[in-house]
Amino acid sequence: MAGSSSFSSLVVPSLPPLRPKSLPEYLDLYGKRRELPKVQILEREITSLEIGKCTTKRFAFDASAITTLKVKAASNSVQNPTQVEAVSAFMWKCAMAASEETHGFPKPSLLSHVVNLRRRTMPPLTEHSIGNLIWIASAQCTARHDQLGLQGLVGQVREGISKINNDFIKKLRGNERSNVICKSLKMIEEPGSKDGAVDYFGFTSWCKLGFYEADFGWGKPLWVSGVGCSGGSVFLNLIILMETRSGDGIEAWVTLDEQEMAILEHDTELLTFASLDPSPLRLGTYGYAAPELAYTMEVNERCDVYSFGVLTLDLITGKHPGDVISSLSLSSSISSSTSIVHRILSKDVLDQRLLPPKNQVAEQAVMVVKLAFACLQANPLSRPTMRQVAMKLSDDHVTMKISDDQGPPLQNQFHMITLGQLI
């Protein structure tokens, strides 16, 4: 949709010769081609095309980063920004900073965002309506990006997109069609009437389009990529937003001039919230996926069991148990009792904000940790099934033994138990 190089393909959608009987009136949004205004802009190549060597990089935002961005972006005018608004405004801000460093001075900037018209009619059109039922929203930043800030940029994005509403679509379908089209496109054309005077950044969101639910007979996709290019001489400052497979993150596919990209990919603020080109083999939420996914690319119950084990330790330790898992992996290749896991006390890895467990709680804590370790076995076949895990957790009378030797009650020796004894 957004990768088109001319406005004409956006203004005049390719509609099927046979229209669904249930939606005859809604699909005719733009009228016949001969009814469109005969203006140069409809036939001229998009003014935001750039000349130079381009490159595409992928910046991945996880759920926690997006939540933080939404909080930072919230203001009185936009109290609850969407994920797309927050990420779009943040990437726009970072792109403007890269442009300023490249040119040595700040340039006015224009953001365009492709808008899906299906969701903005009253009543909404079905998502299966055929045709390029889209329009372009725009937002301008004439002040310095750091003066306007993330909140101000989110406000600009929200204002631009909100103009593409049901009233706007009604005008597209009515007698005001020509004037509406000219006025809307003129808002995008005018800022760039002088060559190089304005930076254009084209955004489009492919989130919530159901790509990860598509099944063409060989299963649902494990990873859906955007559009990338490298070394091209003509390109668009383009940012495509894709949702992650887990549905709670966003990947921003950014195509820029090589020089500006070199600056962008070292932007410390950007890298605080996003990972640069993380491996697509790290499926699901980063740090919770089973290691075998990197070479099998097969998602099954054993993978879910592994993720459950990581999440369980996360709850018990109060943080992602990356160090603990690394120690377990190392101990699997070192059978000696001098392995590091035999020197780590269980009480030291528990959430230190909580009081040490006692009595029956201590027994249950040991049982849960042992169960989590069983779920983290490197060999998928050595892991329990989720049914076995559920049965174990539902058994209220399980008494765990550290060894076959008789010893004092568990609550009295809990402070001496090592991780090695629980594997």
* pLDDT tens figures, 283-339: 455 567 777 766 666 778 888 898 898 888 888 888 777 766 665 555 554 444 445
**Cβ 252 vs Cβ 87: under 8 Å:** yes
How confident is the model over 30-85, as pLDDT tens digits?
A: 555 444 444 444 333 345 556 678 889 999 998 888 999 999 999 999 999 999 99
Mean per-residue pLDDT of the chain = 75
Query: Residue 95 in contact with residue 168, Cβ under 8 Å?
Result: no
**Around Cβ 249, how many Cβ atoms within 10 Å?**
24
Angle, helices 322-331/301-317, rounded to nearest 10 degrees: 120
β-strands 49-51, 109-116 pairing: unpaired
Between residues 291 and 118, the one the model is more confident about: 118
Name, of 20-29, 79-88, 163-172, 201-210, the range with top average pLDDT: 79-88
What domains does the chain contain, in order, with CATH numbers? 8-276 (3.30.559.10), 293-422 (1.10.510.10)
Q: Is the pTM of this model over 0.85?
A: no
Instruction: State how far the Cα of 31 lies from the Cα of 151, in Å rounded to an integer.
Output: 38
Per-residue confidence (pLDDT) for residue 234, from 0 to 100 = 63
Query: 60: which 2 tokens?
Result: 């991945």
250-257 vs 109-116, strand pairing mode: unpaired
Residue 293 has φ and ψ, to the nearest 5°, of: -60, -25
pLDDT band at 405 (very low <50, low <70, confident <90, very high): very low
Strands (E), 149-293: 199-205, 234-236, 238-243, 250-257, 274-276
